[in-house]
Amino acid sequence: MSYHAPATLDEALRLAAQGGGKVIAGGTDVYPAMAQGQTPDRFLDITRIGGLRGINRTEAGWRIGAATTWTDVIRASLPPGFDALKQAAREVGSVQIQNAATLCGNLCNASPAADGVPPLLILDAEVELASAENGTRTVPLRDFISGVRKTARREDELVTAVSIPTPPQDMGSAFEKLGSRRYLVISITMTAASVSCDAAGKITQARVAVGACSAVAQRLPALEAALIGQDARRAEVDPAHLSALSPISDVRGTAAFRQEVVATQCARAIARAAGHE
């Protein structure tokens, strides 16, 4: 039994290469998943690694370190393209969870209902992975999460950051979440949208991603294409645009309900992204 909280990334990667054990940051997914009598033998805590926490401007855009919490995201000064991400951050559990949980942990946990994924998908986020043996590689977020609780991270790798290309300056964004209560609620469906509009209010560029309606949250390219030229206040979401979704029925709602309301949710997210409340 051991608990490692290395101060440097090199040390962390060396431990990961040895079979680092359970990687832990905020702990908000690790502990609830821990079954009776199944405490991991070895923990690798990444929260004390120098330089891993924080949001930085880079040449290409923005870099969010792996130990960055949701509260850090909420407090950061970021362009409007990140509004959806900030709104999602406020919907992650509760203040207690936002203070501990990390955005990268949310990705690594790979829940179909992870609030962080749709806003990052519309930001074209990429996940940065590092290992002692192979150095650093970058994987688009859409490829990083490969299924329910499955990611492209190898055992000897650690996620070190999410990198985001600079969103267009005129692009607004919004996040919509449907749940059965306020606070501490797992989404029934969620949508993140970002749009740019011309002077007449017609959409010139659109990105829409939906979560909790398929094993992995996804962008909706057919919808995005169909939105060009539409009035953002009353965008039409054709059911055919949502045919890539495959929601399930569970305790939170039926598949048919999800498939239906997500269309409304998309329209609302698009309108809000364009600044229409």
Partner 1 sequence: MNNPHGIPMVQFTLDGVAVSAPAQPGQRLSHVLREALGARDLKIGCNAGDCGACTVLMNGAPVCACLTPVHQAEGHHIETAAGLHRSDPVAQALGTRFAEQGAAQCGICTPGMMVSAVALLRKNATPAEVEVQDALGGVLCRCTGYRKIIDAVRGAAPTTQNARGNVGDPIKRIDGADKITGHERFGDDIAPPGTLEIFIIRAPFARAGFTLGDLEGFIASRNGIEAVLTAADIPGHNAFGVIPQFVDQPVFAEAEVRFRGEAIAAVIGTPEAINALDPAAFPVTWEERPPACDIHSAQSEGAVQLHQGRGGNVMCGGFVQSGDAQAALARADVTVEGHFESGFVEHAYIEPEAGFAEIVEGRVEVHACTQAPVMDLEALEIILGMDRSKIRIVPSAVGGGFGSKLDISVQPYLALAALKTGKPVRLTYTRTESMQSTTKRHPSDIRLRIGAQRDGTLFGFDFYGAFDTGAYASWGPTVANRVPVHASGPYRIGDYRAESAGIHTNNPPAGAFRGFGVPQSAIAQECLFDALAEKLGMDPLAFRIHNALTNNMPTVCGQVFSQGVGIKACLEALKPAWAAERAAATDHNTSGKNTRYGVGVAAGWYGCGNTSLPNPSTIKSGVRADGTVVLHQGAMDIGQGANTVIAQIFATALGIPVGQIKIVGPDTDVTPDAGKTSASRQTYVSGNAARLSGEALRRAIVQRMNVSAEAALEIADGAITATDAGTVHTFDLGTVETDSEGFAFRAEETYDPPTKPLDANGQGEPYAQFGYAAHLVVVEVDPEMGTVKPLKFVAAHDVGQAINPMLVEGQVQGGIAQGLGMALMEEYLPGRTENLHDYLIPTIGDIPPIETLIIEEPDAHGPYGAKGLGEHVLIPTAPAILNAIYAATGARITRVPATPDRVRAAIKGLER
What is the rounded CA–CA span in Å between residue 179 and residue 131? 38
Q: Shortest Cβ distance from residue 178 to partner 1 (Å)?
A: 6
Q: How far is the CB of 231 from partner 1 (least distance, A)?
A: 17
Instruction: CB nearer to partner 1: give 65 or 167.
Output: 65
H or E, element range at 243: none
Nearer to partner 1, 45 or 124 (CB): 45
Residue with Cβ nearer partner 1 (28 or 163): 28
Minimal distance, residue 24 CB to partner 1, in Å: 6
- Tell me whether residue 55 or residue 125 sits nearer to partner 1 (CB atom): 55
Which parts of this chain interact with partner 1 (CB under 8 A)?
Answer: 1-3, 5, 22, 24, 26-28, 30-32, 36-43, 45, 47, 71, 90, 93-97, 99-100, 178, 180-186, 188, 250-254, 257, 260-261, 264-265
- Residue 170 CB, shortest distance to partner 1, in Å, is 27
Number of residues that this document lists for the chain = 277
Beta strands (DSSP E) in the chain are 2-4, 22-24, 42-45, 55-57, 61-65, 126-131, 135-140, 145-147, 150-151, 157-165, 172-178, 189-197, 203-211, 218-219
Nearest distance, CB of residue 2 and partner 1, angstroms = 5
Q: Which is nearer to partner 1, 41 or 59 (CB)?
A: 41
In whole angstroms, the minimum distance from the beta carbon of 154 to partner 1 comes to 23
| C-beta separation of 191 from 262 below 8 A | yes
What are residue 150's phi and psi, to 5 degrees?
Answer: -125, 135
Rounded CA-CA distance 238/148 in Å is: 27
Indicate if the alpha-carbon torsion angle 153, 154, 158, 160 is positive or negative. negative
> Tokens at residue 163, please?
């990198």
CB of 56 to partner 1, least distance (A): 21
Smaller CB separation from partner 1, 111 or 218: 111
Do residues 108 and 151 make contact, with C-beta atoms less than 8 angstroms apart? yes
How far, in Å, CA of 138 to CA of 172, rounded?
26
Cβ distance 269 to 192 under 8 Å?
yes
Q: Which is nearer to partner 1, 42 or 149 (CB)?
A: 42
- Beta strands, E only, 46-111: 55-57, 61-65
